[in-house]
Amino acid sequence: MKKLKHLPVDQWPEADIKVFEEAYRPGDIFEETCGPGAHHSKGWRRMVGTSWRRWLGYLAEHYPAVLLEPPAARITPERMRAFIEQVSDEVRPTTIALSIANLYAAARLIAPEGDWAWLAALRTRHTAKAKRENRLDRLVPGWQTLDLGIELMDTASALPSNGHRRQEIQYRDGLLVALLSLFVIRRRSLTALTASRHVESYPDGVNILLHPEDTKGKRAESFEIPEELLPYLRRYLQEIRPRLMRGAQNDAFWPSMKGGGLCDGAIYSIVRARVLARFGKAMGLHDFRRAAATFVAMDAPELIGMVPGILQHASPEISEQHYNLARSVEASRRVAAYLARTRAKLRPIQLRSES
C-alpha cells in the first residue's frame, strides 16, 4: 500500500500554523477568550493534525499555488473530490472516511462561520460506504493474553543479565499485557499512570486509580488487582521499576530503558509486538477492548451486562460519580475472576520462585 505524502508541520504555511494555534488557545473559559478547540484532547488534535498534513501534502503536490490562499478557502468541493479520487487507490475506504471527517472537523474549527454542509454530507456518504474491517480474526481471548503476560514475568529472570535491562523490560512488558488483559484501559490512561497518584495500596491488596483527567469520559475509575496478580505487581513496584528508573527522578509507572516514561506510541508498539510474537496476530491496544466484549459475550453471556463497565462506557442514566466508580469496580472484579477461572482450567497459575 502506497503511503500518503504528508507535509511536515515545519513546512506548513504560516497561515495554517496561526489558525490552529488560535483554535487551540487555552484562554479563560469564563472570559470567553479560549479558542473553539481548547477543550479537545491531545489525541483528537493529533488525529485532526494528521489529516490536515495529508491534505496539505496533496495540495502541495497538485495545487501548490493555493497554499497562498487562506486555509479554509482552499477547501472546495472540486479539490476535495480530486483528493478523494487520488487517495482511493492508495488507502482503505475506512481511512478515506476518517480523513474526510477530520477535515470537516478542522474546517469547522478554523472557520466556524463557514457553510460546511456540503462537507458534512460528503462525510456522511463516505462513512456509510466504508465497510468496517472485520477484526475478529486478529483478536486473542483475554485469558490467553493474561497467560502471556504472566509467562513473560515468570521467565524474565532466565534472560541474560546485562546492561540492557532485558530482564526488567520483559517483566515490565508482561505486567503491561496482563493488566491490559484484565482491565482494557485506554492508551491515554495507561500512559498517564504514575507510581504515586495512581496506585492505592492497603494491607490486603492494591487498586489502580484513574482520575477524571485520565479518562475519555472524564470520570474516576478504580481497578482492584486480583489476588493472583498481586505478587507480580508488588515485585514490579519494589524491585523491577526502580532498576528500570536508573535513578531518574520521575513518577512514571512505565519507565523506558532510559528511565523516562513510555509514551503512548511506545506502549502500543510493545503490546502489539509481544502479542504478535506469541500468537501471530497484530492485535492493537483497542483490540483488547474488542476482545473483552466479544469473548465475554461468546463464553460468558451471563456477564454481558458488565461490558459497559469493563469498557468504562458512560450510561445516560448514570450521573453520580461514586455510582460510576462502584460500577467499574464491580465489572472489573467479575471479569477478572472469569478470566482467572478460565485460565486456571487450562493452565493453573504457578508462581515461580525467583532466585
CA 260 to chain centre: 19
The rounded distance, in Å, linking the Cα atoms of 135 and 91 is 17
Global pTM exceeds 0.85: no
Check if the beta carbon of residue 252 is closer than 8 Å to that of residue 172.
no
Tens of pLDDT, residue by residue over 282-341, are: 888 888 887 776 655 454 444 444 444 445 444 433 333 433 444 444 555 555 666 666
Q: CA distances (Å), 64 to each of 3, 8, 68, 96, 299, in order? A: 20, 15, 8, 22, 56
DSSP assignment string, 224-260: EPPGGGHHHHHHIIIIIHHHHHTT----BSSB-TTSS
The rounded distance, in Å, linking the Cα atoms of 176 and 205 is 18
Q: Is residue 221 helix, strand or coil?
A: strand
Give residue 321's pLDDT. Answer: 40
Which residues lie below 8 Å from residue 213, measured CB to CB, with a gap of 6+? Answer: 192
Domain locations in the chain?
9-129, 136-346
> Among residues 224, 228, 222, 215, which one has the least CA distance to residue 313?
215
Give residue 166's pLDDT. Answer: 92
The rounded distance, in Å, linking the Cα atoms of 244 and 236 is 10
Q: Is the pLDDT of residue 344 over 70?
A: no
Q: Is residue 205 helix, strand or coil?
A: strand
Tens of pLDDT, residue by residue over 166-184, are: 999 999 999 999 999 888 7
Q: Is residue 209 helix, strand or coil?
A: strand
Give residue 237's pLDDT. Answer: 95
Check if the beta carbon of residue 148 is closer than 8 Å to that of residue 155.
no
Percent of the chain with pLDDT over 90: 48
Q: Which tops the pLDDT comparison, 244 or 135?
A: 244
The rounded distance, in Å, linking the Cα atoms of 184 and 150 is 16
Q: Is the pLDDT of residue 100 over 80?
A: yes
Q: Is the pLDDT of residue 203 over 60?
A: yes
Q: Strands, E, within 211-308: which ranges?
A: 221-224
**What is the side-by-side strand order in the sheet with 199-202?**
199-202, 205-210, 221-224
Give residue 33's pLDDT. Answer: 73
Among the CATH numbers 3.50.50.60, 3.30.1340.30, 2.60.120.620, 1.10.443.10, which is that of 136-346? 1.10.443.10
Q: Which tops the pLDDT comparison, 117 or 331?
A: 117
Report residue 77 as a C-alpha cell.
Answer: 468541493
Partners of residue 223 on adjacent β-strands: 208
Give residue 253's pLDDT. Answer: 96
The rounded distance, in Å, linking the Cα atoms of 61 and 2 is 15
Rounded to whole angstroms, the maximal C-alpha distance in the chain is 69
Q: Is residue 195 helix, strand or coil?
A: coil
> Among residues 232, 241, 275, which one has the least CA distance to residue 168?
241
Look up residue 65 and give its DSSP letter: G
Percent of the chain with pLDDT over 70: 78
Q: Is residue 224 helix, strand or coil?
A: strand
Tens of pLDDT, residue by residue over 36-92, are: 898 888 888 999 999 999 999 999 999 999 999 999 999 999 999 999 988 887 888
Give residue 156's pLDDT. Answer: 95
